[in-house]
């Protein structure tokens, strides 16, 4: 039992360190990208004096169609992907390059750590269910052993606290990565010299997430895990042992 607890503690700490570090990196990168999307000059389409016979190349066809259809003021921001945010060394290309590095590193980490944590998580769930089952059955005995009930209750609470703390921390990587990709999509709504290439490059970016047993963890993982655990607890509480008349051995 001592070796099992040591394995669980070290594996959970390792996964938490990975998840907290990458979630913080992705959040900082998202803030930098958000500030980069606010750089650049505001462009007034009315000042371009566009007619039907002359179409400037820097405007997209959809922008020209909207201008001809509505004939109203349409502002837009012109961004330069090579602009470096003051106080950092980041431009758009370096941000995307680092995001690709995080994707590869997370994939390599999940390839072995995720499989190990899958078995650890299953053993934890089995431990919780057996603890609660034994605690309930002891309470049903005529002579209640309160020391045994307290042992199983304490063991179940300690394991659940450790596991769900880990799930809450590792599930923060998914939303941090999702927010970065949403900010990048907002960046692409502005006019940039390499907009077509950047739109194609967007298709190669994937959401970074911590995996347990091959499945990505996200904010919905924790309530789903609690719901499954409560169902097992209810089943353990409703289980009734056979009567002594049926040949049950005590």
Take residue 94 and report the two structure tokens written for it.
């370096």
Three-class DSSP category at 54: strand
Give strand pairing partners of 75.
44
Structure tokens at 80: 């330069």
Residues forming a β-bridge with 212: 215
Other C-beta atoms within 10 Å of 45: how many? 18
Task: Strands of the chain (E only): list them.
Answer: 41-44, 75-78, 211-212, 215-216
Residue-wise pLDDT for 59-111, tens only, equals: 566 665 655 554 444 446 778 788 888 888 888 889 999 999 999 999 988 88
What confidence tier does 55 reach under pLDDT thresholds 50, 70, 90?
A: very low
Tokens representing 232 are 């097992």
Segment 182-200 mean pLDDT: 86
- State pTM to two decimals: 0.73
Percent of the chain with pLDDT over 70: 78
Considering just the CA atoms, what is the radius of gyration of the chain in Å?
Answer: 28
DSSP 8-state code for residue 83: P
């Amino acid at each position: 039992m001592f070796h099992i607890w040591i394995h669980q503690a070290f594996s959970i700490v390792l996964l938490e360190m990975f998840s907290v570090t990458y979630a913080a990196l992705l959040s900082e990168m998202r803030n930098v990208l958000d500030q980069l999307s606010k750089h650049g000059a505001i462009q007034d389409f009315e000042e371009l004096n566009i007619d039907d016979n002359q179409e400037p190349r820097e405007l997209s066809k959809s922008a020209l169609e909207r201008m001809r259809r509505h004939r109203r003021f349409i502002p837009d921001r012109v961004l330069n992907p090579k602009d470096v945010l003051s106080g950092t060394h980041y431009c758009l290309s370096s941000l995307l390059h680092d995001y690709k590095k995080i994707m590869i590193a997370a994939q390599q980490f999940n390839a072995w750590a995720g499989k190990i944590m899958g078995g650890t998580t299953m053993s934890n769930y089995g431990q919780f269910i057996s603890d609660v089952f034994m605690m309930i059955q002891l309470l049903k005995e005529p002579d209640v052993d309160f020391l045994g009930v307290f042992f199983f209750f304490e063991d179940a609470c300690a394991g659940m606290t450790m596991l769900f703390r880990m799930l809450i921390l590792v599930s923060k990587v998914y939303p941090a990565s999702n927010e970065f990709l949403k900010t990048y999509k907002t960046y692409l709504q502005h006019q940039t010299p390499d907009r077509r290439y950047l739109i194609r490059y967007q298709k190669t970016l994937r959401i970074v997430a911590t995996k347990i047993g091959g499945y990505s963890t996200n904010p919905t993982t924790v309530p789903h895990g609690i719901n499954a655990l409560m169902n097992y607890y209810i089943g353990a509480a409703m289980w009734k042992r056979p009567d002594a008349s049926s040949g049950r051995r005590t």
